[in-house]
Amino acid sequence: MFRFIATALLSAIAASSTHAESTQSVQAGTPRQPVIAENYMVAAANPFAVNAGVDVLANGGTAADAAVTVQTMLNLFEPQSSGIGGGAFMLYWDASEKKLITYDGREKAPASATPEYFFGEDNKPVKWWDAVVGGRSVGVPGTLKLLEKVHGQHGKQAWSDLLLPAIVNAEAGFEISPRLAASIASAQKRKLDLFPATRDYFFNEDGSPKEAGTYLKNPLFAQTLRNIAANGSAPFYQGDIAAQIVEAVKTEVNPGELTLQDMADYEVIERAPVCFAYRAYDVCGMGPPTSGGLTMGQILTMLEQHDLPAMGPSADAWHLYIEAAKLAYADRGLYMADSDFVDMPDGLLNKSYLSERAALIDPEKAMGKATAGNPPQKSAMRFAPDTQLERAGTSHFSIVDQYGDMISMTTTIETGFGSRVMTNGFLLNNELTDFSRVPEKDGLPIANRVEGGKRPRSSMSPTIVFKDQQPVLAIGSPGGSRIINYVTQSVIAILDWNMDPQTAVDFPHVVNRNGNTDLEENTTATELEPALAALGHEINIRGLNSGLHAILVSDGKLIGAADSRREGIAAGH
């Protein structure tokens, strides 16, 4: 079923791997060990979600079945990051058909939205946080319909059974984790307690944030899921839940424009994957409206000419990576947006073009801020660069089932706790703030400006790597516009530096988004500062809280990893 990658890698980690069926809850910052399984595996951001997904697989379910359970459990246990009030991108490898399918469940702007959607009374764009809080930032959610579509095409188990774990836990209650408690407390100063339903759920009667260990029940979410279990997504997009979502976004502060027609018109789109060769592998990701696959492709293609395996994670290798990232992010800012609305260049992954771009990299000196290139394109349409960067949020999970199917899914409500608007027991996204609030610059339109029915640009980078036409790695991460860096670096660490997945996802981060270079604080990455500064890089030392979850196929085994920066685990059998 699975093909060989590296017997030596498997042997090296076997002695230290945790048992694949471990159910122990772990806290952020606790060291992890790689997990080995033979038949199936889930790696995700919460142990309860992971174990519920593993139970689905143990009972003969497919990766699609497990995804329904994992996502709804994440909605309950990690509500600040993802849920049915948000959107997602999924890569699905169908082993029986030997086919990779990508699903676009990204949120959409209301049909009435204009490029000036986020303008204030002074006819100027409002500040980012002023745009976030309230119903105006809410796009039509896509996650539920994505799950339903994927389950309909690839599922084996009853839809209603897959929602039952989240229903039972929502009704019985669960303990707030340390990470969720810290997130609640931090978000209070960002108006998490502004709206009554959200305040009542996350805060005590005296207004203090609920603490870790507090028992939390969500009967409204259980009721919502029971409705969906019985009737599918119809109530959510065309029925009573849809009506309540539309009503909920009519907030006194920053009201939105979603209508029942916007909800009813939503569709998940199957898009062509973005695939490119990297050494002996084929790396596949999502195309627009996310910039993840294309930007990763540009970075890796520019780096392929360098002997990164021999260089290892040295300052010289990181310098090359940083420079390639600058060039790719420059193209991202100018060209990448929802391709249903924008005529994007068709040559962003053209090897000749990227060879020219790579020639701009001086191994001895930083280039400063990069400018976008001129890739081959059919359209003469010109744009102004968009410098807006998405804030950190989101979640990711990877799944492999006993049939050989594989999922890499990145899922989000955008920034932590989304719009702060809650209805029916779940939070609504603030995804529309991923659009540029500035529609044009110097007389030129910005590709990622707001338009009616458009999907905002994302950096989500769910990825599946192939060798000899078989999937060998599923990986992805949360982290806003840094996601591309997190995932690309982990792919390099696994493919070029022969790291096991756990070492790779925990490896200290070096991030550049065409500006200053961020080195992850309290890690060995800070030791790179003198050498990189000597090459001309402007350095920031800061927290870089990825949430990478990976499953590697090696010599017929599954090796899972969960980012130690968060609370997730990998488990399987």
Please give the Cα distance from 299 to 274 (Å, whole number). 14
Residue identified by tokens 């001309």 is 536
**Nearest residue to 242 (alpha-carbon basis) of 424, 451, 456, 117:** 424
Catalytic option among 72, 394, 412, 433: 394
Region for 335 from its dihedrals, namely left if φ exceeds 0, alpha if ψ lies in -120 to 50, beta otherwise: alpha
CA distances (Å), origin 465, targets 35, 103, 500: 19, 17, 15
User: Which residues lie below 8 Å from residue 354, measured CB to CB, with a gap of 6+?
Assistant: 298, 301, 302
Where residue 173 falls (left for φ over 0; alpha for ψ -120 to 50; beta otherwise) is left
Contacts of 269 (CB under 8 A, 6+ apart): 103, 104
What beta strand segments (E) does 10-131 contain?
Answer: 35-37, 41-44, 87-94, 99-105
CA-CA distance, 472 to 468, in Å (whole number)? 9
Distance (Å) of CA 527 to CA 216, 530, 571? 43, 7, 34
Distance of alpha carbon 129 from alpha carbon 519, whole angstroms: 26
Q: How far is residue 142's CA from residue 103's CA, in Å, rounded to a whole number?
A: 10
Instruction: Please indicate whether residue 295 is annotated as part of the active site.
Output: no
Q: In what side-by-side order are the strands of the sheet with 510-512? A: 510-512, 517-520, 539-542
Tokens at residue 80, please?
Answer: 């600040």
- Ordered DSSP codes for 490-556: HHHHHHTS---HHHHHHSPPEEESSSSEEEETTSGGGGGHHHHHHTT--EEEE------EEEEEETT
- Hey, how many other C-beta atoms are within 10 angstroms of the C-beta on 3? 15
Beta strands in 182-302, from DSSP E residues, in sequence order: 215-216, 269-271, 274-278, 281-285
Measured from the Cβ of residue 81, the count of other Cβ atoms closer than 10 Å reads 31
Phi, psi of 60 (to 5 degrees): 95, 5
User: Active-site residue numbers?
Assistant: 394
